[in-house]
Structure 1
Amino acid sequence: MPKLLIYGASGYTGLIAAHHASSLGLSFILGGRSGSTKVAALAQELSVEYRLFDVMQPGPIDTAFEGISVLLNCAGPFNLTAEPLMAACIRNGVHYLDIAAELDSYLFAEKLDLEARKAGVMLMPGCGGSVVMLGCLAGKAIENVKDPVGIDISLCVSGPMSRGSAISASRNMSSEVMQRENGELVTGEPGAIIQLDFDNGAGSVDNYPLTLPDLITIWKATKVRNIRTFVHVAGGVFPTGHLDALPDGPTQEEREAAPYHAAVKVTAQDGTVTAAVLHTVNGYTFTGLASTEAARKVLVGVFEPGFQTPAVVFGNDFVQTIGQSQVKIL
């Protein structure tokens, strides 16, 4: 039976994914860094096998990948874990999935695309989180748009951040904002604030430009030549003070009280604008559920070799199979 390896399973989102994999009855094992006692404890709780290895040691990785057909990498920071694990997946014929929010993982996948295709291996960074939310929303919005030339898309985030997310975000923060212009990634305007209505009762709100991996994935899926990505923060999401002292992440109650939304405007060649919104569960809940559902699909043979996006491989409706998510064309 094809088997899934969840690496970084003791992290905050990895834990959600592992529990969901168990509830689905998937054939899976847990993975973590050498010396991790949390992974061993979780494996005992879920009655599954576990394997420990470090990403910079090819030999132990190859041994750990024996009998594995799909890897779900939940271990950040992804600028350190994605490339060696992608290379190991290509080397061992294992499909690669991750939950990265940083650009690095997607740039690595672009670089390794041809090698992965030759090996018959799929590389799908961002199989959960904003890449599914925004990619599927953009895909639905342009389905009936003739000659789309521009996409402005934004994620409305709310609720507390996990410790891992806060630390990764602080390391990757930059004053430089990127956008897709005439098909190329270029430096954008940091102060280019736009107004969008998320259809959540708050009316039109400010959205700030932010470099999101969707600049790569939406471009890959749609080939719309001009794409800008934004974020609206509902409340004081980003923590202050000593990030290492933060709790692992929000409680289930905090997640349930903080749903996410997304909004998109697609401009056609003739100037017509199509707007759509997404209403969904909290981002951490969504990522844990969507990444596991993506892995389940790949386990039963739903994949395409090379660098791929969830919207392309699973379809634009994939987002609406996760946690009662709803896309609405306005």
Structure 2
Amino acid sequence: MGELLIYGATGYTGAMAAEHARDLRLRPVLGGRNADTLAAAAERLDCAYRVFDVEDQSAVEEGLTPAEVLLNCAGPFLRTARPLMDAAIRAGTHYLDIAAELDSYRLAEMADRAATAAGVMLLPGSGGSVAMLGCLAAHTVARVERPQRLRIALHVAGSMSRGSAISAGENLTTETLHRVDGSLSVADPTAVRGFDFGFGEVACTPVTLPDLITIGRATGIANIDTYVYASGDAFSDGEPADLPDGPSAEQRAVDRYHAVAEATGRDGRTVSSVLDTVNGYTFTPLAAAHAARRVLAGDARPGFHTPVEVFGAGFAETIADTQITDRECG
């Protein structure tokens, strides 16, 4: 089996991904900028490590060349995705990340042709909401004839990690977008819609999620709206730098995530499906490690792809105790 390099392996989510990769016997190489923290993590996990900064182009390419697969867990992804994607294409290394911001996916779209020519797969969102929502969407649209519209809502429970808050704050895409007739366009940010995640209908807010790109790409649906409902202190009013690394294991065990997808077919019939899963900060590193394992085992396609395209609609349900249940809409 080839080499897996996890960049950002000492961060909150990256450290958990490295542990899962170790447990899967992938023997990951830990990557990052700080030699001292990397050395300590590598000793704890009995792994090798490699030190380089994404701002040093030659060092990045040298660091990636031995790796068959790169898993980028280093946010903000606005800073790390482009140099690591570009270097991965030059080095012939498959690129995976856990980004939740639209910008990484736009970069992957732009790099699709170069990656395809190089035989390199770009798989942003290999873990996290893109993987879970993509699988839920594919499952739901398969239940209607010639799907025309998809509405999908994510329930984010519990607190946000410091890294996620900083990444979200630096996201270039500030407008509320949706997909209309195949193109991204500005949506009404006040167009709140009710969804039932299994505990009664709640008001969900339109937000710009990367699934506008990934679900459109995977399913071909031309009209997609994405929403979020946050409970607890998911979006803190404080400064991101003042937040803790992330929720504790005990907090994650209590704060489960949910999602609802509503698909409408050409005949007007609408169905919905509901996903129930572990906390996003538990799901993301576990799904990313399993995605890396599958890519190392040969599940790779050149160019920009989504988890559901590569691993199938059932991928999310292989992670922890994730379940999807079906409903009929009235």
**Secondary structure at 1:48 match in 2:** coil
- Of residues 235, 248, 252 in structure 1, which corresponds to 2:249? 252
| Amino acid corresponding to residue 186 of structure 1 in structure 2 | S
Is 1:124 the counterpart of 2:123 in the alignment? yes
- Of residues 275, 295, 298 in structure 2, which corresponds to 1:298? 295
The residue number in structure 2 matching 1:4 is 4
| Amino acid corresponding to residue 57 of structure 1 in structure 2 | D
- Kept in 2: contact 1:96–1:124 (CA 8 A): yes
- Of residues 214, 217, 220 in structure 1, which corresponds to 2:214? 217
The residue number in structure 2 matching 1:308 is 305
The residue number in structure 1 matching 2:46 is 47
**Secondary structure at 2:127 match in 1:** coil
| Amino acid corresponding to residue 93 of structure 2 in structure 1 | V
Looking at structure 2, the residues matched to 230 and 56 of structure 1 have their Cα atoms a distance apart, in angstroms, of 35
Equivalent pairs, count: 327
- Of residues 318, 321, 325 in structure 2, which corresponds to 1:324? 321
Is 1:243 the counterpart of 2:234 in the alignment? no
**Secondary structure at 2:315 match in 1:** helix
Identity over aligned pairs, percent: 51
Q: Deviations over 1:233-273 (max 9, x none)?
A: 11232122232122111100000010000001001111110
Q: 1:160 to 1:269 in 2, by over 3 A?
A: same
The residue number in structure 1 matching 2:142 is 143
Looking at structure 1, the residues matched to 170 and 305 of structure 2 have their Cα atoms a distance apart, in angstroms, of 26
- Kept in 1: contact 2:78–2:170 (CA 8 A): no
- Kept in 1: contact 2:137–2:261 (CA 8 A): yes
Q: Deviations over 1:200-224 (max 9, x none)?
A: xx20110100000000000000110
Looking at structure 2, the residues matched to 189 and 242 of structure 1 have their Cα atoms a distance apart, in angstroms, of 27
Unaligned runs of 5+ in 1: none
**Secondary structure at 1:316 match in 2:** coil
Looking at structure 2, the residues matched to 291 and 263 of structure 1 have their Cα atoms a distance apart, in angstroms, of 22
The residue number in structure 1 matching 2:72 is 73
Looking at structure 2, the residues matched to 309 and 209 of structure 1 have their Cα atoms a distance apart, in angstroms, of 22
Is 1:286 the counterpart of 2:283 in the alignment? yes
**Secondary structure at 2:314 match in 1:** helix
The residue number in structure 2 matching 1:14 is 14
- Kept in 1: contact 2:6–2:18 (CA 8 A): yes
**Secondary structure at 1:317 match in 2:** coil
Q: Deviations over 1:258-302 (max 9, x none)?
A: 000000100111111010000000001100100000000000100
Q: 1:173 to 1:116 in 2, by over 3 A?
A: closer
Q: State the TM-score, normalizing by the size of structure 2.
A: 0.97
Looking at structure 2, the residues matched to 241 and 36 of structure 1 have their Cα atoms a distance apart, in angstroms, of 30
- Of residues 271, 275, 289 in structure 1, which corresponds to 2:272? 275
Is 1:101 the counterpart of 2:100 in the alignment? yes
Q: State the TM-score, normalizing by the size of structure 1.
A: 0.97
- Kept in 1: contact 2:103–2:171 (CA 8 A): no
RMSD: 1.2
Give 1:36 deviation, angstroms.
Answer: 4.1
The residue number in structure 1 matching 2:58 is 59
The residue number in structure 2 matching 1:186 is 185
- Kept in 2: contact 1:2–1:27 (CA 8 A): no
Q: Deviations over 1:89-116 (max 9, x none)?
A: 1101100000001111101100010110
Give 1:175 deviation, angstroms.
Answer: 5.6
**Secondary structure at 1:275 match in 2:** strand
- Kept in 2: contact 1:149–1:224 (CA 8 A): yes
Residue correspondence of structure 1 range 152-167 to structure 2 within 5 A: 152-167=151-166
Q: 1:112 to 1:173 in 2, by over 3 A?
A: closer
- Kept in 2: contact 1:260–1:283 (CA 8 A): yes
Is 1:227 the counterpart of 2:219 in the alignment? no
| Amino acid corresponding to residue 208 of structure 2 in structure 1 | T
Looking at structure 2, the residues matched to 173 and 244 of structure 1 have their Cα atoms a distance apart, in angstroms, of 19
Looking at structure 1, the residues matched to 26 and 123 of structure 2 have their Cα atoms a distance apart, in angstroms, of 19
The residue number in structure 2 matching 1:25 is 25
Runs of 4+ in 1 over 6 A off after TM superposition: none
Unaligned runs of 5+ in 2: none
**Secondary structure at 1:19 match in 2:** helix
Q: 1:174 to 1:89 in 2, by over 3 A?
A: closer
Is 1:206 the counterpart of 2:210 in the alignment? no
Looking at structure 2, the residues matched to 265 and 144 of structure 1 have their Cα atoms a distance apart, in angstroms, of 10
Looking at structure 1, the residues matched to 101 and 93 of structure 2 have their Cα atoms a distance apart, in angstroms, of 22
Q: Deviations over 1:92-151 (max 9, x none)?
A: 110000000111110110001011011110000000111011100000011131111000
